[in-house]
Structure 1
Amino acid sequence: MAEAIYQQFKRMGLNPNVYTYNLMLKVFCKKGDTKKADDVLTEMEKAGVKANEYTNGTIIEGLCSLQKTDLAYEILKQLRENNDPVDNFSYDMVVHGFCNENKLSEAEAVLLDIENQGLTPGEYSFGALIHAYCKRGNIQKAFCLESDMLSKGVKTNCFIVSSILQCIFSRGTFTDVLSQFKTYRDMGVFLDEVCYNIMINAMCKLGRGEAALELLEEMKHKNLVPDLIHYSTVINGYCLEGKLLDALNVYKEMKHKGIQPDLITYNILAGGFARKGLAKETLSFLDYMKTQGLTPDVATHNKIIEGFCLAGNVREAENYFKSLEEKHPDNYSAMINGYCEARHTLVALNLFVNLYKHGMFLKQTCWKLLSCLCIEGQVESAFDLFETLLVSEDYNCIKMYSKLMSALCNSGDIKKARWLFDNWINKGLKPDAIMYTIMINGFCKSNLMSEAWELLRAMKGNGILPDVVTFTVLLDGCLKSISMYSRSRPNIYLCEKATEFESEMSELQLKPDVACYTVLIDKRCKMNDIKDAIKLFKEMMDNGLQPDNVTYTALLSGCYRVHDVDTAETLFDAMTAQGLQPDQITRSLKSKLEHGILKAKKLQFTH
């Protein structure tokens, strides 16, 4: 329509102005028709119409939408050199374009360029980059960018907030979602329906259905309208908790408000009935679905099969599976997943192998099956399954490699673990920090410290920085090796290596977590340096970290070694006040120390 009017203008001999030309540029750029867009620019030049900021921004936006952001940025810089008008919008488009092309380093360079031009990057540029890092799962980088943004006086918005909340949620740290949501709410940031849905979902994952329902009410008070997704999320949360009646009540409320449930909602409820082991009611609900004009699909069947298995009603799941006239490969996957959930892992493996022999390779079930085999100590079966995957296709799942490597290391089969690690590298793939750490941990557990240190050097040589977990593993390995030597003459070289790792952590500005502090405290205790151990313990508490049973046990062991009964008594009191229950080792130490306290008091009395 716009193009037709434009052509009519020209036929009538009318001279378009800059706004008309800009409009046509926008139309052709959106269509991806670069030739016609170029023709418009040529016409503008011939007509003597000078381009303005909007013209230049439209050209840059068009190139970015065609994934030609490098060219768009070069044009932007050329325009700038020619003193042609360029506004923040053009920079925003370039940042967004680089993010869409997954060129995040280039996008960050543009942010710096914006500042060098005396401008402040806006929330659109920051938001695009934060969203891109969140999609990668790099929440630390996202937080750094957000902090930088806020320090420049740029306010956050619900798009940025939802990206961050979703990233945290996808990591499975649901309590962090809750605390971060509260932080934004306390800051007065407007939180939209998407933000609330992530929060509601996190509540449900934590088994807090009632709190999720309260959030729905909070939304209403803020004039936000809960939709089908919000209600379905709460229904799913109640079903996961086994609160089927509550789920049905929310379903009724939703219908009362005029929101029509879709197939996903009904599938959730069908799975809810099955998870309660209610076979007859599940089938009746399927009939009810049909009266509502919905036909059960593959996902419906999967929910029911897995639901019965989760309820421990494996036979009912098998009967339902057999009753299906047409079995989709996903239904077989659901049956295998169900067996795994019911801890019938070898039955799941047999079904997988039989299907594989008949030409059905269920790739999507492999991770679940492999994971369960590893957890249950069926490491040989897991390794055999993995070899099947390698034969079947070029299988490059780093999570699966890492899971099996970890299981092999834990079972003491360091050779097979190293074979897997080398197999990954031989494919031309790069191990990540987790994979390196698993292998280093395996070497440490097998007291192969030289191999662990060599792998650490290779890790750093390949540009992968060790994290807190890596250093914790190495420090723990050193300590365990030290303990194999005489307590009176600890291995000096191992002690020096442990100190070296501590220094390196400090240089990399890595803050110890609870596990790392525990290892560091244990090291001091084994060296009879109880004062430094207590100093670390206090530092840990000052940093907001709560010691666990293992931390207290390590420190109490140190107290026992140096006969520091007063500190031990204080630690026992602190442990009890924290609500921690002493384990067998701690109770044994307590008994020995109490004996020491009584003995000391007797000596004081006699003197």
Structure 2
Amino acid sequence: MLAFVYSRTGMVHDAVFVIAKMKELDLKVSIQTYNSLLYNLRHTDIMWDLYDDIKVSETPRNVYTNSIVIDGLCQQSRLQDAILFLQETAGKEFGPSVVSLNAIMSRYCKLGFAEVAKGLFCLMLKYGLHPDAFSYNILIHGLCIAGSMEEALEFTNDMGRHGVEPDAITYSILAKGFHLLSQISGAWKVIQKLLIKGSDPDIVTYTVLICGYCQIGNVEEGLKLREVMLSQGFKLNVIAYSVLLSSMCKSGRIDEALGLLYEMEAVGLKPDLVTYSILIRGLCKQDKVHKAIQLYNEMCSKRISPNSFAHGAILLGLCEKEMITEARMYFDSLIMSNCIQDVVLYNIMIDGYVKLGNIGEAVQLYRQLIEKRISPSIVTFNSLIYGFCKNGKVADARRLLDTIKLHGLEPSAVTYTTFMNAYCEEGNIQRLLALLQEMETKAIGPTHVTYTVVIKGLCKQWKLQEAVQLLEDMYVIGVTPDQITYNTIIRSFCKCKDLRKAFQLLNQMWLHNLEPTSATYNILIDGLCVNGDLKNADCLLVSLQEHNISLTKVAYTTIIKAHCAEGDVHKAMTFFCQMVEKGFEISIRDYTKSFFCMMLSNGFPPDQEICEVMLIAFHQGGDLGSVFELAAVMIKSGLLPDKFLIN
């Protein structure tokens, strides 16, 4: 009894001492005591010595003894020893058990060896053992993690043939598997099967489904599941609410998200730091910074200590809305209250100043950071380098590379890409390509943005074939181009009047499941118009309309201007009316330009008064190109602008 109690309370060394005394007194130790001690020692090598002691003492073992040893070997990752022990005990009175094989299968599945686990499952059947629901769940879980959903479903169906019914855990595992593969429809089918059987999914299964729907941006389905859960008496957990809140904030439904926050509190759940941080960030993105600060104060009043994420959400929101003065006041208040010792918050402020072109304040904050002995990160330096390059101070940016190394940091792909973009703007293609080579030498993987910058540089030098070759190379090395990459090359081919190649690249985008943007179509329509192919430009725009592809105002104004220049007033008016019907905001400048072009095409030269009105309209709209274009037409027509118009 003393040895057993010592063992059960974790005092294993005392238990070993007592057993040693028992052997000195020639007293028998029960297998229950040995098993209890074995279980507590299963994480250590002493377990094996104790097992040898059991054999020497000839204490009759039972099925639990072997199961504990196998579980211990699995816990110690000695899987080969576990299988050898299994084979040694096969055929004996207390040979392999379902529990023992489950332990080994579970360990192999956790290590990602689902195929080995399948072999052990077959071995279980060979020994005449009957797998239980736990056996199936282990294997199904391993197959789901490995992405073998079809096999996982086959084993689920096999359960019924062996008299084992899938339980809520089985369906939860399958739902998680489909979620991992972003196949949320498959997860929902699994839940429907569970409902048909008359069983209710557990809260874990529902939470997985909610996470899955929100992950693919379908927050509506997530909210429907919430209603189902509430109707069945389930109470959502903080994770489910946080996922729903995050998804709603991303889709701009911030007021509804706040409603969910209050619902959480009403059902007795306490929103945590993550929940509040999600909402604060969402409010800042919606320009509701004052409401975000109110929520921040509410969080503090509930004794939830804000971290850099919560502070950062407010700072980032202020900076993104270019409210840099307010951001600095908030930042300084954090410094004054000694709440800030985090490089992340400094990085947000430095980046905010840089994006507004205020490199001086950014450098001042960097110096403050160094004075406070806060270690800068590579993000800090990337922002400063971007600021210097943006202001044309590439030499100053280059000097920061040495400072990066002094802090024990290494330049990242972003660092190199920033420099490469600066050299691209300068037209220094040699230096740009040298940096790309340097990245490859240092094993710093270029991103799709890096390659886009290189392609832009090649296009500026009219090395279009090299640009296309680099585009193809991106797919070979596993870097996927985006729409901006393609738009850069397509624009260049349009400029050099190779429309055939431009449309080939458009088709290539579709082949790679990359949907062209409205900017892509604007470039192509402009290319067709500039090259005088108005017929195909019209066909392209009409085709896009028929396929309900979103177009911008630029596409319409481009084609209207082209038809006006060709003197086709009817076509120009047709597209102008379509632009109005689409609900685009039409300015006085748009009306004026169309009216002016139509007058010229119909042989009615505008008089001095009309020209003056249009000049003023163009000037007020900031369209200086049209101002000078109209002034040239006036002079050519013998209409001299007066002093007022010249000013």
> Which range, TM-score by smaller chain?
0.5 to 0.7
1:419–1:362 CA distance, 2 compared to 1 (3 A): farther
Structure 1 residue aligned with 2:619: none
Residue 108 in 1 paired to residue 161 in 2? Answer: no
Unaligned runs of 5+ in 1: 134-140, 169-175, 496-518, 526-532, 597-607
Structure 1 residue aligned with 2:61: 15
Structure 2 residue aligned with 1:575: 582
Structure 1 residue aligned with 2:376: 330
Answer yes or no: is the 8 Å Cα contact 1:548–1:580 preserved in 2. no
Aligned equivalents of 1:272, 1:537: Cα separation in 2: 37
Residue of 390, 397, 417 corresponding to 2:467: 417
Deviations 1:193-218 (A, max 9, x none): 23432443455567776554433212
Structure 1 residue aligned with 2:444: 395
Aligned equivalents of 2:506, 2:315: Cα separation in 1: 50
1:194–1:564 CA distance, 2 compared to 1 (3 A): same
State how 1:192-271 maps to structure 2 within 5 Å. Answer: 192-202=237-247, 211-238=256-283, 245-262=290-307, 264-265=309-310
* Cα root mean square deviation, aligned: 5.4
Answer yes or no: is the 8 Å Cα contact 1:308–1:314 preserved in 2. yes
Deviates more, 1:270-279 or 1:281-290: 270-279
Aligned equivalents of 1:210, 1:110: Cα separation in 2: 44
Residue of 182, 187, 200 corresponding to 2:223: 182
Answer yes or no: is the 8 Å Cα contact 1:449–1:477 preserved in 2. no
How far did residue 226 of structure 1 move? Answer: 0.7
Deviates more, 1:567-576 or 1:473-482: 473-482
Structure 2 residue aligned with 1:316: 361
Structure 2 residue aligned with 1:407: 456
Q: Which letter does structure 1 place at the counterpart of 2:37?
A: A
Residue 289 in 1 paired to residue 322 in 2? Answer: no
Residue of 528, 539, 548 corresponding to 1:522: 539
How far did residue 227 of structure 1 move? Answer: 0.8
Q: Tell me the SS of whatever aligns to 1:157.
A: helix
Structure 2 residue aligned with 1:508: none
Answer yes or no: is the 8 Å Cα contact 2:448–2:479 preserved in 1. no
Aligned equivalents of 1:584, 1:30: Cα separation in 2: 76
Aligned equivalents of 2:140, 2:393: Cα separation in 1: 48
Answer yes or no: is the 8 Å Cα contact 1:444–1:473 preserved in 2. no
1:356–1:202 CA distance, 2 compared to 1 (3 A): same
Structure 1 residue aligned with 2:180: 132
Q: Tell me the SS of whatever aligns to 1:334.
A: helix
How many residues get paired?
Answer: 521
Structure 1 residue aligned with 2:75: 30
1:224–1:28 CA distance, 2 compared to 1 (3 A): farther
1:211–1:307 CA distance, 2 compared to 1 (3 A): farther
Q: Tell me the SS of whatever aligns to 2:269.
A: coil
1:381–1:369 CA distance, 2 compared to 1 (3 A): farther
Residue 60 in 1 paired to residue 110 in 2? Answer: no
Structure 2 residue aligned with 1:161: 210
Deviations 1:486-526 (A, max 9, x none): 879x8xxxx9xxxxxxxxxxxxxxxxxxxxxxx9x83385x
Deviations 1:514-568 (A, max 9, x none): xxxxx9x83385xxxxxxx5xx85663xxxx766546877999999989699997
Identity value in percent: 17
Structure 2 residue aligned with 1:499: none
1:300–1:409 CA distance, 2 compared to 1 (3 A): same
Q: Which letter does structure 1 place at the counterpart of 2:360?
A: R
Deviations 1:226-282 (A, max 9, x none): 112222333444556676654443333223323233454456567778844565663
Answer yes or no: is the 8 Å Cα contact 2:563–2:569 preserved in 1. yes
State how 1:442-591 maps to structure 2 within 5 Å. Answer: 445=494, 446=496, 448=498, 465-467=511-513, 469=515, 522-523=539-540, 525=542, 537=545, 540=548, 549=553, 571=578, 574-576=581-583, 581=586
Answer yes or no: is the 8 Å Cα contact 1:73–1:94 preserved in 2. yes
Aligned equivalents of 1:407, 1:187: Cα separation in 2: 52
Deviations 1:310-366 (A, max 9, x none): 6765433322222322777735642542674x7962457444311235673976664
1:238–1:318 CA distance, 2 compared to 1 (3 A): farther
How far did residue 434 of structure 1 move? Answer: 4.2
Structure 2 residue aligned with 1:4: 37
Q: Which letter does structure 2 place at the counterpart of 1:467?
A: N
Q: Tell me the SS of whatever aligns to 2:371.
A: coil
Q: Tell me the SS of whatever aligns to 1:224.
A: coil
Aligned equivalents of 2:353, 2:518: Cα separation in 1: 42
How far did residue 391 of structure 1 move? Answer: 1.1
Structure 2 residue aligned with 1:505: none
How far did residue 467 of structure 1 move? Answer: 1.9
Q: Tell me the SS of whatever aligns to 1:258.
A: coil
Residue 123 in 1 paired to residue 156 in 2? Answer: no
Question: Structure 1 length normalisation: TM-score?
Answer: 0.64
1:584–1:406 CA distance, 2 compared to 1 (3 A): farther
Answer yes or no: is the 8 Å Cα contact 1:306–1:337 preserved in 2. yes
Residue of 345, 350, 367 corresponding to 2:414: 367
Q: Which letter does structure 2 place at the counterpart of 1:523?
A: L
Structure 1 residue aligned with 2:130: 85
Aligned equivalents of 2:588, 2:171: Cα separation in 1: 52
Aligned equivalents of 2:70, 2:361: Cα separation in 1: 63
1:96–1:343 CA distance, 2 compared to 1 (3 A): farther
Larger Rg: 2
